[in-house]
Amino acid sequence: MEHSATPSGESFPRLYLKDADSESMDGCIVNYASEHYDLTMSLKDPLHPSFSVFLESLKRECTKRGLRFLLVHEAMVAETIEKIRIGKLSSGFHLDFFSLWHEANEPFAKLAQTIQDCGGKPINSPHRSRLFTDKAASHSELTKNNLGVPRSLILRQGLSEKTIRQMIVGFLSKKNSTWEGGLFLKKGNGFGNKGVTHIKTAVLEELIPQVQKVLASDPMDSYLLQEEVCCGYMQTNQGLTRPAYWRIIYCMGDFHAFWWKPAEYCAPEEKSYIPLEPSEIRTFRLQPLLDFAEELKELSGLDWFSTEICLHEKPAHSKHQIRSENGAMLPLVAIDYFNDQCDVHVQSQWHGAPPDLFVNTVVRRFAEHATSLSRMNKSRKAG
């Protein structure tokens, strides 16, 4: 038995079998005569309008580079998993856009795991996506590393009503004396604003019934009760007044930073995403913002994720801080820690989407990486 390097850099035992065209690997049968795709992508609804431009661009880039592309949607995911497992189909590089990592036997998560087990390379390791997209788990990791987070109470599954009440009483009694906002109750595995409840009261007899009702809606998930974070406003180099709130998207070696504002709070014709310019990073001394994002990347090991970070107007513990115009040091705080299924809708179609140029850039990056992995695979097989 010898070890052969996979595209991900990991090694697996190569077994010399009677059939020279196939090998057994981690419970999968790899048949080199099988149908191979250089780039696969999972998407629940293949006709979802938010992905139409991205998909067409990705297909064009694959055609240009001679790559084989396969879109795996809900109607075919189970069959695709089985074909990969028995060696009738293989994927070199996989983009995941729908896995619900916290759900047992969720098919798209199982697809990504099967691709990895059989020698392919998902954009993110399923294990790391599962860990870091769970807000309760990632909150603990950020706290341990002195990265700014909202003051939070983590409510896990199986707590009695009495225990929940005691925990909330303790949480409210320790709240910062300068805190005047409401509370947010977030599902540990919610995404896209799903599973977020804004609670505008801190009166115990009003708060506890609201919390208990939300927890009962999904007793299998963890929840975070968080103090509302208040951020100020800054003026961009274009003369626009924007919240001191940024969305940063990391894609395989490159950070893309934007002034960000939810679409529902934008004025008519206002864009949710406005690129953060290098000159603005210098003018407002925002390098700690990028340092924060860099630490999130190193901590998570994810190659494709977005995060939201804001400049808190109130004192908070954070190793990354920015000096305000009046000279005070203000903390940077992560609001949405990790999202491994980033927005690829385009701004030309909807004002709440990222710029078209950004989407085209990541499409090319994905195609380039698939090309690189394809060459490595061919070289390994030839060897």
- Interval 320-367: pLDDT, tens: 999 887 888 999 999 999 999 999 999 999 999 999 999 999 999 999
Q: What is the mean pLDDT of the chain?
A: 88
For residue 32, give every residue at least 6 positions away whose Cβ sits within 8 Å of its Cβ, in sequence order, or none. Answer: 21, 22, 381
- Helix/strand/coil for 195: coil
Task: Indicate if 221 and 196 belong to the same structural domain.
Answer: yes
Residues 210 and 202 sit within 8 Å (Cβ to Cβ): no
Residues 21 and 32 sit within 8 Å (Cβ to Cβ): yes
- Prediction pTM value: 0.88
What residues form DSSP beta bridges with 140? none
- CATH code, domain carrying 31: 3.40.50
Q: What is the DSSP letter of 202?
A: -
pLDDT score at 330: 95
pLDDT score at 181: 65
Instruction: Report which secondary-structure segment, H or E, holds 69.
Output: strand 69-72
- CATH code, domain carrying 156: 3.30.1490
Task: Indicate if 172 and 60 belong to the same structural domain.
Answer: no
| Domain assignment of residue 348, yes or no | no
| Domain assignment of residue 325, yes or no | yes
- Interval 73-107: pLDDT, tens: 999 999 999 999 999 999 999 999 999 999 989 99
Which residue range(s) make up the domain with 302? 233-339
pLDDT score at 124: 98
CA 99 – CA 116 distance, rounded (Å): 14
Residue 179 has pLDDT above 80, yes or no: no
What residues form DSSP beta bridges with 223? 155, 187
CA 4 – CA 90 distance, rounded (Å): 17
Question: What's the rounded mean pLDDT across residues 189-213?
Answer: 81
Percent of the chain predicted with pLDDT > 70: 88
Question: What's the rounded mean pLDDT across residues 270-294?
Answer: 97
pLDDT score at 117: 97
| Domain assignment of residue 271, yes or no | yes
Q: How many domains does the chain have?
A: 3
Which has more pLDDT, 99 or 208?
99
| Domain assignment of residue 249, yes or no | yes
Task: Indicate if 43 and 28 belong to the same structural domain.
Answer: yes
| Domain assignment of residue 63, yes or no | yes
- Helix/strand/coil for 350: coil
pLDDT score at 28: 62
Residue 175 has pLDDT above 60, yes or no: yes
